[in-house]
Amino acid sequence: NAGVTQTPKFQVLKTGQSMTLQCAQDMNHEYMSWYRQDPGMGLRLIHYSVGAGITDQGEVPNGYNVSRSTTEDFPLRLLSAAPSQTSVYFCASSKDTATNEKLFFGSGTQLSVL
Amino acid sequence: GESVGLHLPTLSVQEGDNSIINCAYSNSASDYFIWYKQESGKGPQFIIDIRSNMDKRQGQRVTVLLNKTVKHLSLQIAATQPGDSAVYFCAEITGSYIPTFGRGTSLIVHP
């Protein structure tokens, strides 16, 4: 299994541009989530999904959209990028919410918004 | 609101020493506490967890201690190795099943 795969690894955007961060897992996990990591701030939850067709907001959802059309994929969309969205983004998954104590993380996407 | 915090942002140890990383939490209703390790340029990786009805749990070279009286969690790493150098996060899960992460402690192991 490849685990959790995130693409791209690095991205530079200009303010106002849009883009999609991709996340895919091949472990048949029901639960998927997106975090952003800023220096000294730890991991903050953006959006999460408990299964295909179901998404919900986390702690910092503003400026981001998600969808979950399949079990495997959970893309994160930035509709109009802002400098405040410069961060490292991590996708994480688990078998289901009952096993959320053990999340599997991707290797991250480093995003810079100029 | 509830939060998970860390006492020390950076911990430096000599190779072979034991390391203790501390974490304070404030939500007495948390069901699980978890430790993650994040190496440079990588995503966090699960190390060990402990349920709220336990005081101690041991893994390979790691031990997690939970003191519910003072709401304190610690990760002990025995015989610390250079490969243990990383940022360590504690996290807690309440009934909402959403993990809440602390800010992290950087462990530096000197050879």
Q: Where is pLDDT greater, at B31 or A114?
A: A114
CB distance B38 to B44 below 8 Å: yes
- The enclosing H or E element of B67 equals strand B62-67
Look at residue B8 in the predicted model and tell me its pLDDT: 47
Residues of chain B predicted below pLDDT 70:
1-8
Look at residue B7 in the predicted model and tell me its pLDDT: 44
List, for residues A67-105, the tens digit of each pLDDT value. 999 999 999 999 999 999 999 999 999 998 878 779 999
Query: A108 and chain B: CB distance < 8 Å anywhere?
Result: yes
Mutation for A interface: B54, B103, B106, most A CBs within 10 A: B103
List CB contacts (< 8 A) between B41 and chain A: 107-108
**Cα B15 to Cα B8, B18, B81, B83, distances in angstroms:** 19, 8, 5, 10
Look at residue B4 in the predicted model and tell me its pLDDT: 53
List, for residues A6-52, the tens digit of each pLDDT value. 999 999 999 999 999 999 999 999 999 999 999 877 899 999 999 99
Joined together, the tokens standing for residue B12 give 């430096």
Could A43 and B45 be called an inter-chain contact, meaning their C-beta atoms sit closer than 8 Å?
no
As a whole number of angstroms, the distance between CA B41 and CA B47 comes to 17
Joined together, the tokens standing for residue A37 give 């990591």
Side chain identity at B71, as an amino acid letter?
K
Say which of B9, B32, B44 has its CB closest to residue A101: B32
- Closest-CA residue of B relative to A33 is B98
CB distance B89 to A42 below 8 Å: yes
